[in-house]
Structure 1
Amino acid sequence: MINRSVVPDIVSYNSLIYGLCNMGLWKRALALFEIMNEKGIIPDVVTFTSLTPAACKSGKWEEAVRLFRNLIDCGTLPNIVIFNSALDALCKDGKTAEALNLVEEMLLRGVKPDLVTYNSLIN
């Protein structure tokens, strides 16, 4: 794309990040996320819906929580997938109080906990 003077947009980056995450190439997806930010392209809920669960699957709990905080800082409203990924990361890291605070934040934002939410808390 770049060689043909086609400038990637948020959709292009999201597609590539999604594909890299699905292939288990977490580090490459995160590097692309950083490039996207450097280019001034603001990530959206789709970006974070790919990255946050991939961070958790890779055992990068702190990174998942950092991504979640980044999402909030960007003014993007998290969806249930993002909330559950961050919640799971907190629970696996033994941060029960923070996880329960996150559930309260979910409720305040009108996001109803689901089976995945409760499974993370129970585990």
Structure 2
Amino acid sequence: MLMHNLEPTPVTYNLLINGLCVYGDLEDAGRLLVSLDDGNINLTKFAYPTLIKAHCAKGDVYRAVGLFLEMVEKGFEVSIRDYSAVINILCKRCRITEAKYFFCMMLSDGISPDQELCEVMLNVFDQGGDFDSAAELLSEMIKFGFHPD
């Protein structure tokens, strides 16, 4: 692109990050994100979720959570999918307290959970012996019209 005097856009860089993640090259994708962040490129909200999901798929909780918090700190809009990715990987790694923290953070951000995430959290509350929270969430699910399994 540069050889043809075409300036890459943030979308171009997001596509590069996505491609690197698809091919499992998370280190290069992370380095590209850092280099763009240090430069004059205004990243879109898509670069972070792509990397977060890739690190979750790889099982790298530490990096996924770090990128999520960095995304929030930089003021990017966070979606239910972003929260779900982080909460699910935390639950898979038995990091129940942190999963609850992010679930509460999501609710305080005004983002309503979907049925799948509610069921994940019901299991978390059940495994942790937090039956009051489970009962409260179950009643909220019914109010939202969800039908828990």
Stretches of structure 1 lacking an aligned partner (at least 5 in a row) = none
1:104 equivalent in structure 2: 104
Identical pairs, percent? 28
With structure 1 as the length reference, what TM-score do the two structures score?
0.84
Alignment partner of 1:110: what SS?
Answer: coil
- Find the aligned partners of 1:83 and 1:55 in 2 and give their Cα distance: 14
The amino acid across from 2:51 in the alignment is L
Contact 1:45 1:79 in 2 (8 A): no
Deviation, structure 1 residue 115 = 4.0
Stretches of structure 2 lacking an aligned partner (at least 5 in a row) = 125-149
Deviation, structure 1 residue 30 = 1.4
The amino acid across from 1:61 in the alignment is V
1:44 equivalent in structure 2: 44
Alignment partner of 2:41: what SS?
Answer: coil
CA RMSD in angstroms, aligned pairs only:
2.0
Deviation, structure 1 residue 26 = 1.9
With structure 2 as the length reference, what TM-score do the two structures score?
0.71
Larger RCO of the pair (alpha carbons < 8 Å, separation 6+)? 1
Deviation, structure 1 residue 102 = 0.9
Q: Does 2:137 align with 1:117?
A: no
Contact 2:11 2:44 in 1 (8 A): no
Q: Give per-residue Cα distances to partners, 1:32-90, cap 9 Å, x unaligned.
A: 11221122324332112211110111121100000001011101121112111111232
- Find the aligned partners of 1:67 and 1:116 in 2 and give their Cα distance: 23
Determine which structure has more spread, i.e. the larger CA radius of gyration: 2
Alignment partner of 2:98: what SS?
Answer: helix
Contact 1:62 1:89 in 2 (8 A): no
Alignment partner of 2:29: what SS?
Answer: helix
The 1:12–1:23 alpha-carbon spacing in structure 2 relative to 1, beyond 3 Å, is same
1:87 equivalent in structure 2: 87
Contact 1:26 1:55 in 2 (8 A): yes
The 1:15–1:100 alpha-carbon spacing in structure 2 relative to 1, beyond 3 Å, is same
The amino acid across from 1:82 in the alignment is D
TM superposition outliers: structure 1 runs of 4+ over 6 Å: none
